[in-house]
Structure 1
Amino acid sequence: MRRYLLLFVVVFMALAGYGQDVILVRKGDVQSLLDAIKTASDRNRDRDSERIFILIPDGYYDLGEKTLTRVAGNNIALIGQSMEGTIIRNAPSIKMESISKTAVLQNRGKGNYYQDLTLKNDLDYYNVEPDGRAVCLQDKGDRTICNRVRMLSYQDTYYSDYEKSHNYFQNSEIHGTIDFICGAGDVWFERCMIVTEKRRRDGSGHNIIMAPRTSETKWGYVFNRCTIKNDESAFYYGRGWHTNPRCVWLYTKLMTPEKLLPTRFDPEGMKISSNYFKEYGTMDAHGHDITPKTNVVRFTLRDHTQPFVAETIMTRDELKQYTLKNVFGEWNPVKLLKKLEKTSKKLKKQYKLN
């Protein structure tokens, strides 16, 4: 009872003093973090709820084997002190290995905002091969924004798990080995760092970055001016999961372009061979354009049936269609991000988290 009373006092003081609804998590206290998320989720059940800010000081918030911590409310902002220093971690039991059971956080609300924190899933990946599905953020919400968020895992690191979602990432970092950016909806990744880890313990095998299952939206995954850092295995940009997979890589910087496998996209889809996979303006580490003039790929299923032949180099006319306005319509995530970032900066200063 005392713990919840203290939490209420923190929120009340924030409202009275600064005109913002704020919950301040106790430094390094994982129960305080869980209480804050539950309180915010309970209060912001309505889609038009006023935004609540959860401020999280640098620290190691260890959830142990706990999974699927739900951010169930709407318009909640989880703001860490720094991306490198604010770490929320879990370590699911190997018995829990699954795309739907292992997530550090499960986002279920609309308009939630994540900034300056790390999500780490420490499932013992190399002891559960060939599958080691360990999700950092399972996103069942809509209009999610991740700004300077780092996700550390191996397989299925970020899972966009709502068919009609429209989400936005900026200046974030996602690590993994295979299908580590996967799922549905339209998701735009702006100036993000994509980092591949060792595929298998012995260093064998190759990486596959994304696996979309686009179904009820038009655009799928859009990677714009992102960087792929690959120091380990050879890799593909991605492969199809099912339904109508769509993904484009625009102005991508490859730190090790020699590790990109010849077809660039995996020619063997999981449940479907047809897709819309394209790239444009690909660069090496020095910014030189290394895009092939043409790259025709014969896609099939893994049993080599259902052949589908496609050109994967985008034309200028196709490129012109990929704007934030076209992808998101009236929702302007960049404008909202700037507003929330400005508010977060003020709150961090007021609560001495800068």
Structure 2
Amino acid sequence: MKQALLLFFYCAITAIAQAQKYDFVVAQDGSGQFKTVQEALNAVPDFRKVTTTIFIKNGVYKEKLNLSHSKQFVKLIGEDVARTILTFDDWAQRKNAFGEEKGTSGSSSFYIYGPNFTAENITFQNSAGPVGQAVALFVAGDKAKFTNCRMLGFQDTLYTYGYGSRQYYYKCYIEGTVDFIFGASTAVFDDCEIFCKKAGYITASSSPDTVKYGYVFMNCRIVGDAPENSYFLGRPWRPYAKAVFLNCNLGKMIKAEGWDNWGKESNQQTAYYAEYKSTGPGANPTGRVKWSHQLDEKQVQEYTLAKILNGWNPRE
């Protein structure tokens, strides 16, 4: 009897302590404050100046989600990255209520406009399949950080939308086919796994000419089931596209030439594509297009988090 009471009190105390770690809990079985993720996002006070932490229990949450600009300092924590799945199935050619195509931007499963957003242990998915542009995650807010998350889709999986937006992806898994990491933001991919499906282009940066950095991949692994010699590291969606791969291991799917000019020779004068100490079967510094760059020891010193992200330290 005494042992049973002790166990009861231990479980009760543990439950209370667990609840106090989070401001809101989302659970499909009703054990949290909310059954849907959007309800929890809506409940965050506008322009709150401290972090609102939302714990999402395992489940497949089929919702088209939107975190508005007024919802800042929101932190989502999934119970298990493989089993906490936020998903929807829109795609660019799908019609809206007025019979109009939704377009690439309208296809996203989750829109993040609020600044200082954080996500851990969550899968972001577009489940429409190989039907053209179908965005899983649309990130516009500044200082967005993702740790141990998965972004699943085909074409246009991850849209780093915001001009001037700084984004950091740590130990994430991102998969897709054509231009599956694309947009205008400055984004660092640190120790991530980039999975190439079928054939295509990993990046399609649209960096403006007013920023020094676009996409920076640090210590990443480019893997996948794509055929040998079927992938470019990137092509310029806009003339001043920027993408740099530092100390990355490149799989056999990476083409020897590495980069594509998207059919415009003028892009070769404005886009900035570079590598530093690439390894693996896809590493081929002598075979790269002549308008790309191989960084030296001095040049690579410019690629610190503080410099790339303009003073923001996402590791704090």
TM-score, normalised relative to structure 1? 0.74
One-letter amino acid matched to 1:231: D
Q: 1-side partners of 2:25 and 2:103: how far apart?
A: 32
Q: What is the match of residue 119 of structure 1? A: 124
Paired position in structure 1 for 2:164: 164
C-alpha distance in structure 1 between counterparts of 2:154 and 2:121, whole Å: 21
For residue 240 of structure 2, what is the aligned residue in structure 1? Answer: 244
Return the offset for 1:152. 0.6
Q: 1:278–1:272: structure 2 CA closer, same or farther, 3 Å change rule?
A: same
Separation (CA, whole Å) in 2 of partners of 1:147 and 1:295: 32
Report the aligned-residue RMSD.
Answer: 2.5
The whole-number CA distance in structure 2 between the counterparts of 1:71 and 1:78 is: 15
Contact 1:28 1:59 in 2 (8 A): no
**Structure 2 contact 171–193 (Cα < 8 Å) conserved:** yes
Mapped pair 1:225 → 2:219: yes
What is the letter of the counterpart of residue 123 of structure 2?
T
Q: 1:242-294 CA distances to partner (integer Å, 9 max, x unpaired)? A: 1411110011112x33x221211123357944310001111117xxx945257
2:304 aligned partner: 323
SS in 2 for 1:326: helix
How far apart are residue 163 of structure 1 and its match?
Answer: 0.6
In the alignment, structure 1 segments of 5+ residues that lack a partner are 1-12, 199-205, 298-309, 336-354
- Measured after TM superposition, the shift of residue 14 of structure 1 is 8.1
Partner of 1:107: 112
CA contact (8 A) 2:237 2:262 kept: no
With over 3 angstroms needed to count, the CA separation of the structure-2 counterparts of 1:56 and 1:282, relative to structure 1, is same
Q: What is the percent sequence identity of the aligned residues?
A: 26
Distance 1:25 1:68 in 2: 14
What is the aligned partner in structure 2 of residue 340 from structure 1? none
Alignment of 1:132-211 (within 5 A): 132-198=132-198, 206-211=199-204
Of 21, 24, 38, 2:42 maps to: 38
Counterpart-to-counterpart distance in 1, 2:29 and 2:243: 38
Q: Which amino acid aligns with 1:25?
A: V
Distance 1:237 1:251 in 2: 14
**Match of 1:106, SS?**
strand
Q: How far off is 1:104 after superposition?
A: 1.1
Q: TM-score, normalised by structure 2?
A: 0.83
Runs of 4+ in 1 over 4 A off after TM superposition: 28-31
Q: Which amino acid in structure 1 is aligned with residue 148 of structure 2?
A: R
Q: CA shift at 1:316, angstroms? A: 2.0
1:89-119 deviation line (CA, Å, top 9, x unaligned) = 1112633552210111100011000110101
Change (3 A) 1:292 1:272: closer
After superposition, what is the alpha-carbon deviation per residue over 1:12-41, rounded to whole angstroms, capped at 9, x for unaligned?
x989x73x661001236785322101112x
Amino acid at match of 2:117: N
CA–CA distance in 2 between the matches of 1:222 and 1:28? 40
Unaligned runs of 5+ in 2: 1-14, 96-100
Aligned length: 286
More moved, 149-158 vs 28-37: 28-37
Contact kept? 2:27, 2:58, Cα under 8 Å: no
> Is residue 193 of structure 2 the alignment partner of residue 212 of structure 1?
no
